[in-house]
Structure 1
């Protein structure tokens, strides 16, 4: 009976359905298995969700401060004693005005901070100090109304009393919307740089931990180093996108509810554009972090091997800074075309102004090509570094080991 069972089991393992599995399908299945393992581990990681919670809380605090600052920049309110018709109408054309029946009610409104300033005849009443800009506005309006009343008293012609109005021409009517798009893209890119740094450091530490604990030797018995590398990148990428989508979604909803955006649909488009450019940037830098982690033999070596990658990654903030401070700079056009920098510079530049299509296409093509070259070279370094021990492994040593 036992012999029959063994014979049947051998027959199953050598059946044509398993031996004729296409190599490509088997490779994709192994990559999916590695990616699924990384996604499961990451989504169950408390640090993953705590960092998300901290980021959302910081975004909420930032949103609250922005709202308070916006309130501070609102127009001051003016309380006016009833019966000052000409002065009241002239002020109402410039500031929010509340007309009150008697002088005591006017002073009470200022005392209870229901009004920032009050006008009683030729007297200006404030709680503490009169701001210079507001003082000039009130003084100019009072003088203009007084002159007009004196001219009427002298029987001046209506054409001599009426002041000519000036026409307003807006050179950039969409300036506020452009500013909102640019700031949104810049803040989103900088937040993604920080999240990418945490994700990259996490994958480097994970690779080093698997290497130092010899778990990687068990994994390599089932998958190739290249499959393991690609699976890790994709798995952590999906987990990072979940985190980023939740964070950006909450931030956009909160900002829209608070009324900070005049065109929410444009802001949503800007955020999605940032995410699209983030994907190739993520592939570049997380690959570098994974390769760097394979060069460390101990957890203590991770910071040493990831230091150069972190410095290169921080250089990507040059793009958003240039896009916000000097959007017309020729340097920004150059930076937005360089692989590794373009993912951060191009979306902010596109949020500020229209970018020629050929520049967007070239920047994207160069970035995709850089990802392909990096995966080809990085997978060789990763292969050679995984099974090398004894301190920090040199890149040349890893490449030599990969050839053998």
Structure 2
């Protein structure tokens, strides 16, 4: 069987199995709820503008200009009665007093208040809440997606070894085609999930009238996609190698702990040190943290135009090297069924690799 045909066959098989997996479905629903919660719900929960009964026409004009719903009435008594009947949320009577039933209408008071002129010395500064949420969002998406799909790839390899199906598969398709098919399938599912989250997020921003926010965060989202793809493929090959080192699913957590730390540490570093420019600059050139650190720096405006290209180039080189290492370990341990295999032993196992090459 040709290698390309084998890769398509393995990828199709993995997609068919994993698309029905509960972990994939639950993680997708979680991220979609996260996207909706961060964009649509604030606008829905915020409610509309207060409706106000007003006697004075000049006051009515002022409140309309502030975006409030105004109902003009003939006198103070009618304004008060409209509030008591629940027809309006508040009323402004002669003399400028505001009437309400049980809660002060903040938007009405703010609209009638004379605010001092404010001059911003740094008008381009990013909102502090947004400056925290954006790094958190990028870090959460990359961390959970790479961890979830990486564990699925590793678990798939272990299950094939445990049931001895791998011996049939290796006899039918090249070992590297088996590895590539698994990585391709995982990458397709992960990218599809990310694309779905992006679509829901963009739609949510548009529905909640956050067009300015979308234009601000859009470029960093665009860069996040290629960084995510390269980072995921780099990690996926290593996850497959970790799975090939053991013969039982119960042993997977122990052998995969280094990989979990590799994914976890950048997650916490980007979240807690996102305001530390020197550290973020360093993290944006480390392959394991660059997929989140560089898009965050692009969002905050701390990265020059050439930096994402250099960072992505460093990631591509590192990914090529780590994929080669992962493939070598995978080939050196896949057919070992006599217990756990150490990373070094699998890397040095020339005989297993020679059999894999003959099969190819």
The TM-score normalised by the length of structure 2 is 0.80
Shift of 1:256: 1.7
Measured at CA, do residues 172 and 109 of structure 1 come closer, stay the same or move farther in structure 2, by a change above 3 Å?
A: farther
Q: In structure 1, which of residues 236, 241, 259 is the aligned counterpart of residue 209 of structure 2?
A: 259
Structure 1 window deviating more from structure 2 (279-288 vs 190-199): it is 190-199
SS at structure 1 position matched to 2:14: helix
Measured at CA, do residues 189 and 42 of structure 1 come closer, stay the same or move farther in structure 2, by a change above 3 Å?
A: same
Q: Which has the higher contact order (CA 8 A, sep 6+)?
A: 2
Shift of 1:369: 1.4
Shift of 1:388: 2.3
Measured at CA, do residues 55 and 281 of structure 1 come closer, stay the same or move farther in structure 2, by a change above 3 Å?
A: same
SS at structure 2 position matched to 1:220: helix
How do 1:111-150 and structure 2 match up within 5 A? 111=84, 112=86, 114-116=88-90, 118-121=92-95, 123-130=97-104
**Take 2:298 and 2:132, find their aligned partners in 1: how far apart are those partners?**
8
Larger Rg over CA atoms: 1
CA offsets 1:228-267 (integer angstroms, 9 cap, x no match):
2222111221122223222322332233233233365665
**Take 1:175 and 1:36, find their aligned partners in 2: how far apart are those partners?**
44
**Take 1:228 and 1:28, find their aligned partners in 2: how far apart are those partners?**
11
Unaligned ranges ≥5, structure 2: 353-360
Task: Please say if residues 79 and 106 of structure 1, whose CA atoms lie closer than 8 Å, have aligned partners that are also in contact.
Answer: yes
The answer to whether 1:288 aligns with 2:238 is yes
Shift of 1:277: 1.1
Which residue of 2 is the match for residue 377 of structure 1? Answer: 325
Which residue of 2 is the match for residue 346 of structure 1? Answer: 294
Unaligned ranges ≥5, structure 1: 1-17, 19-25, 145-164
Task: Please say if residues 6 and 174 of structure 2, whose CA atoms lie closer than 8 Å, have aligned partners that are also in contact.
Answer: no
The answer to whether 1:310 aligns with 2:284 is no
Measured at CA, do residues 79 and 202 of structure 1 come closer, stay the same or move farther in structure 2, by a change above 3 Å?
A: same
Count of residues in correspondence between the two structures: 350
Task: Please say if residues 81 and 121 of structure 1, whose CA atoms lie closer than 8 Å, have aligned partners that are also in contact.
Answer: no
Structure 1 window deviating more from structure 2 (372-381 vs 48-57): it is 48-57
Q: In structure 2, which of residues 329, 336, 340 is the aligned counterpart of residue 392 of structure 1?
A: 340
The answer to whether 1:300 aligns with 2:250 is yes
The answer to whether 1:106 aligns with 2:106 is no
The answer to whether 1:190 aligns with 2:140 is yes
Which residue of 2 is the match for residue 52 of structure 1? Answer: 28
Q: In structure 2, which of residues 14, 20, 33 is the aligned counterpart of residue 38 of structure 1?
A: 14
Which residue of 1 is the match for residue 314 of structure 2? Answer: 366
Measured at CA, do residues 132 and 254 of structure 1 come closer, stay the same or move farther in structure 2, by a change above 3 Å?
A: closer
Which residue of 1 is the match for residue 182 of structure 2? Answer: 232
Which residue of 1 is the match for residue 358 of structure 2? Answer: none
